[in-house]
Amino acid sequence: MTTRKWIREMPLHVMLIPTVVLLIAFSYVPMTGIAIAFQNFYPGHNFFSSPWVGWENFQYMLQLPGTLQVLYNTLFIAVLKIVANLVVPIVMALLLNEVRKMWFKRSVQTIVYLPYFISWVLLGGILVDILSPSQGIVNEILKAVGLPSVYFLGDNHWFPFTLVATNTWKEFGFNTIVFLAALTGINPSLYEAACIDGASRWKQTLKITLPGLLPIIILLATLSLGNVLNAGFDQVFNLYNASVYESGDIIDTMVYRIGMGDGQYSVATAVGLFKSVVSFILISVSYLLAYRFANYRIF
């Protein structure tokens, strides 16, 4: 780097300083708290006066009954959510892209985006009513077409799928907008050329639109892989109940009960650390894959 370039970019670097300071203060300094994952921490003590216990907190977590079931639930729900949150928005974006009437497209786009802003605390109460087997509208519809009613929130078979479906309904508007934005970036002359060559709408979608979307799909997939152990605390906590603990209890809700309920801060931190390490590894691997196969680069 030449001196002149350095001087020219100097103000930009200076402008960056507040951000870096805040980042260090609020993201890196608190990371020292990880230490309590390896301690027997009591409030009122600090990192220096709490006894070190090594891996004991991790061992304790693993020997608790139901830990494996909880891990399985978490993975199962999270993976389904990741897949649904990619597939549904892509389909939606492709469909909306074909709509000619601008006002219709815009309205649909806004309406499907709205649930994204409702908190799970509210939705929890609403969904219990909507999905109720005796009074809920969903089961009214099922009954009207001759299907048996389903206790979506109280049946271990249905509960994980209910979680995925409601989560997708709430979240898919966001990714739809991202994909729609990406669609506008595809060069229209490609479609014109395809038209002249006699390609059908379907062929154009397969050969032009989807390949054009591929980089952004890979980006979103890569980012979401870090969530493979995040099955969504807000949602599960507000929707689960004792009858579906078996299929709905996830790492985060378990940590909540142990950390907040029993005041075992060290164990809660240990599990949090475990989750972060797994997420870090998965994000790194998926980034490498994206780097190699899709030519996607951050640095």
146-154, 164-172, 185-193, 225-233 -> range binding other proteins (CB under 8 A): 146-154
State both tokens at 29. 């300094």
Options 259, 273, 274, 290; binder of other proteins; rule CB under 8 A: 259
Quote the least distance from Cβ 126 to other proteins, whole Å: 12
Give 10 or 64: the residue with its C-beta nearer to other proteins.
Answer: 64
Give 148 or 188: the residue with its C-beta nearer to other proteins.
Answer: 148
**291 near other proteins, rule: CB under 8 A:** no
Q: What per-residue string of b and e applies to 96-130 under the rule 16 or more CB within 10 Å gives b? A: beeeeeeeebeebbeebeeeeeeebeebbeebbeb
d(CA 165, CA 22): 38
d(CA 233, CA 79): 15
Cα-flanking dihedrals φ and ψ of residue 52, to 5°?
Answer: -85, 135
Is residue 148 left, alpha or beta, with left meaning phi > 0 and alpha meaning psi from -120 to 50?
A: beta
| DSSP category for residue 148 | P
Options 19, 261, 297, 299; binder of other proteins; rule CB under 8 A: 261
In the stretch 60-89, what mask flags binding to other proteins with x, by CB under 8 A? x---xxx-----------------------
Give 65 or 188: the residue with its C-beta nearer to other proteins.
Answer: 65
The binding site for other proteins (CB under 8 A) comprises 30, 33, 41, 43-45, 60, 64-66, 125, 128, 132-134, 151, 153-154, 156, 241-246, 249, 257-265, 268
